[in-house]
């Protein structure tokens, strides 16, 4: 082979590697959206249930809203690997195996995700991926897996960066683009090292089906307060997101207003929107919330800037802000209290400056922003008038400011 030919071939090879890495990197330019089995079903999953969820997913029109992944969490695998050390689907729960299920999900135009774990064992005691990373990545590719949630149980003093990088390299080597979701609970500050390892990283321990939890049992609020959001937001951006954990909307533990607020804050914080309820049995009010195109648009905003808590007014009303494309702003007033508050807010004279990124807005009579109520989808006036709104316990008002 002459030198020219060798050079051309090397160049081609380089281009392939670069474009594959690019494909991988482009999988989460906005936060991922989908459904995961854990919050509602734990390990109690099976083929029939998941197919039913996929059917409901499509029937409810979630695909059109941007949701695309169906992810099986812990408990999909058999208690043991096969003789060659391969993962096997739990034969009682998934008698036709994972490939058949992936095919079914793909046939609906959806994507398929699985869960595994850094350690020898998953949190629920099934086999984990330790020492089998490359083998598992190949198996996942063979089955048609598009998303991997990778947990941190039984990691036994492993170096988190190395452990997750090994799995990332294995996924790359298997040559199928897989969205890689790190579930390390923030123990080793993944926001400092995970940007080039995975597409998202969990920031806290598990969310529970409640709004106000406790120190040992996180509800929606503890997920927000357990970590310094001001610090976290600096590292989020297209391709790599802080994951505030899966949604508890529709699981019965939150009021209507709390479900609305949960969704709104996850949108402001650019967190992945992974539903965790039984889609086969969903109330109209929950469906309304998860199909709110205006709030979803905030979550999926192309600028990719995670929002921030701007200030607290009237004792308990938190104002959360997110700069959006085209000089638009999402503003969420959240009444973090048990008492109803008669909110009065004067925009004029206010300058909001993003503390970390180069965005600022000044409200004056010379530049009037309109206010769109993202829950009613109506324009409710402009910043020239004092905003007046009654906010009940844990209720929020989510607005978009636009020209």
Q: Is residue 248 near ligand GLA by the rule CB under 6 A?
A: no
Q: Report DSSP letters for 340-387, one per residue.
A: -EEEEE--TT-EEE-SSSS-EEE-BTTBPPEEEETTTTEEEEETTS-E
Among the residue ranges 44-52, 121-129, 251-259, 362-370, the one whose residues contact ligand GLA (CB under 6 A): 121-129
Q: By C-beta, is 113 or 307 nearer to ligand GLA?
A: 113
Would you give the DSSP letter of residue 281?
S
Would you give the DSSP letter of residue 74?
T
Q: Is residue 123 near ligand GLA by the rule CB under 6 A?
A: yes
Beta bridge partners of 33: 273
73 is catalytic: no
Least distance from ligand GLA to the Cβ atom of residue 400, Å? 31
Place of tokens 């996924």: 171
Place of tokens 């729960």: 93
Binding track, positions 24-63, relative to ligand GLA; x by CB under 6 A? --------------x-------------------------
Q: By C-beta, is 36 or 292 nearer to ligand GLA?
A: 36
Task: At 273, list the tokens.
Answer: 């929107």
Q: Is residue 73 near ligand GLA by the rule CB under 6 A?
A: yes
Among the residue ranges 119-127, 281-289, 315-323, 328-336, the one whose residues contact ligand GLA (CB under 6 A): 119-127
Q: By C-beta, is 122 or 299 nearer to ligand GLA?
A: 122
Q: By C-beta, is 142 or 206 nearer to ligand GLA?
A: 206
Least distance from ligand GLA to the Cβ atom of residue 340, Å? 34
Q: How many residues does the chain have?
A: 403
Among the residue ranges 2-10, 118-126, 251-259, 361-369, the one whose residues contact ligand GLA (CB under 6 A): 118-126
Footprint of ligand GLA on residues 157-196 (CB under 6 A)?
183
Place of tokens 């609305």: 260
Catalytic residue (choose from 206, 294, 356, 373): 206
Q: Is residue 222 near ligand GLA by the rule CB under 6 A?
A: no
The rounded distance, in Å, linking the Cα atoms of 399 and 131 is 49
Least distance from ligand GLA to the Cβ atom of residue 193, Å? 19
Footprint of ligand GLA on residues 137-156 (CB under 6 A)?
151
The rounded distance, in Å, linking the Cα atoms of 192 and 275 is 27
Q: By C-beta, is 57 or 115 nearer to ligand GLA?
A: 115
Task: At 294, list the tokens.
Answer: 């205006």
The answer to whether 122 and 153 are in contact (CB under 8 A) is yes
Q: By C-beta, is 185 or 257 nearer to ligand GLA?
A: 185
The rounded distance, in Å, linking the Cα atoms of 308 and 339 is 24
Place of tokens 């922003």: 369
Q: Is residue 124 near ligand GLA by the rule CB under 6 A?
A: yes
Catalytic residue (choose from 151, 278, 301, 354): 151
44 is catalytic: no
Beta bridge partners of 343: 389
Q: By C-beta, is 274 or 317 nearer to ligand GLA?
A: 274
The answer to whether 220 and 359 are in contact (CB under 8 A) is no
User: Which SS3 state, helix, strand or coil, does residue 20 take?
Assistant: helix
Q: Is residue 260 near ligand GLA by the rule CB under 6 A?
A: no
User: Which SS3 state, helix, strand or coil, does residue 84 take?
Assistant: coil
State which of residues 74, 136, 146, 328 lies at the interface with ligand GLA (CB under 6 A): 74
Q: Which helix (H) or strand (E) holds 309?
A: strand 308-313
The rounded distance, in Å, linking the Cα atoms of 382 and 180 is 42
Site residues for ligand GLA per CB under 6 A: 38, 73-74, 115, 122-124, 151, 183, 206
């Amino acid at each position: 082979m002459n030198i020219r030919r060798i050079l051309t071939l090397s160049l081609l090879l380089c281009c392939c590697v670069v474009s594959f890495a690019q494909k991988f990197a482009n999988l989460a330019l906005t936060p991922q959206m989908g459904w995961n089995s854990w919050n509602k079903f734990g390990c109690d999953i099976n083929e029939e249930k998941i197919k039913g969820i996929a059917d409901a997913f499509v029937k409810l029109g979630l695909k059109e809203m941007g949701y695309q992944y169906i992810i099986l969490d812990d408990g999909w695998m058999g208690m043991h690997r096969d003789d060659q050390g391969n993962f096997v689907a739990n034969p009682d729960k998934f008698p036709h195996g994972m490939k058949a299920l992936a095919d079914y999900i793909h046939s609906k135009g959806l994507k398929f995700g699985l869960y595994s774990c850094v350690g020898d064992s998953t949190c629920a005691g099934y086999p984990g991926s330790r020492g089998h990373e490359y083998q598992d990545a190949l198996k996942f590719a063979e089955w048609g897996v598009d998303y991997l949630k990778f947990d941190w149980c039984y990691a036994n003093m492993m170096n988190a960066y190395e452990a997750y990088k090994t799995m990332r390299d294995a996924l790359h080597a298997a040559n199928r683009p897989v969205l890689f979701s790190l579930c390390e609970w923030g123990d080793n500050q993944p926001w400092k090292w995970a940007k080039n390892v995975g597409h998202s990283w969990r920031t806290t321990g598990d969310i529970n089906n409640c709004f106000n939890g406790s120190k040992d049992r996180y509800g929606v609020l503890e997920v927000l307060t357990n970590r310094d959001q001001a610090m976290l937001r600096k590292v989020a951006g297209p391709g790599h997101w802080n994951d505030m954990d899966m949604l508890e909307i529709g699981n019965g533990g939150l009021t209507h207003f709390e479900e609305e607020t949960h969704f709104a804050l996850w949108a402001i914080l650019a967190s992945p929107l992974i539903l965790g309820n039984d889609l086969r049995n969903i109330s109209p009010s929950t469906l309304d919330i998860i199909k709110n195109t205006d709030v979803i648009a905030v979550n999926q905003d192309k600028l990719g800037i995670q929002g921030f808590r701007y200030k607290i007014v009237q004792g308990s009303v938190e104002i959360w802000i997110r700069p959006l494309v085209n000089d638009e702003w999402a503003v969420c007033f959240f009444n973090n209290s048990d008492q109803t508050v008669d909110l009065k807010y004067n925009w004029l004279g206010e300058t909001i400056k993003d503390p970390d990124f180069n965005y600022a807005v000044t409200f004056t009579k010379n530049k009037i922003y309109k206010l769109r109520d993202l829950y009613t989808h109506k324009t409710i006036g402009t910043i020239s008038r004092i905003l007046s709104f009654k906010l009940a316990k844990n209720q929020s008002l989510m607005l978009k400011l636009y020209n």
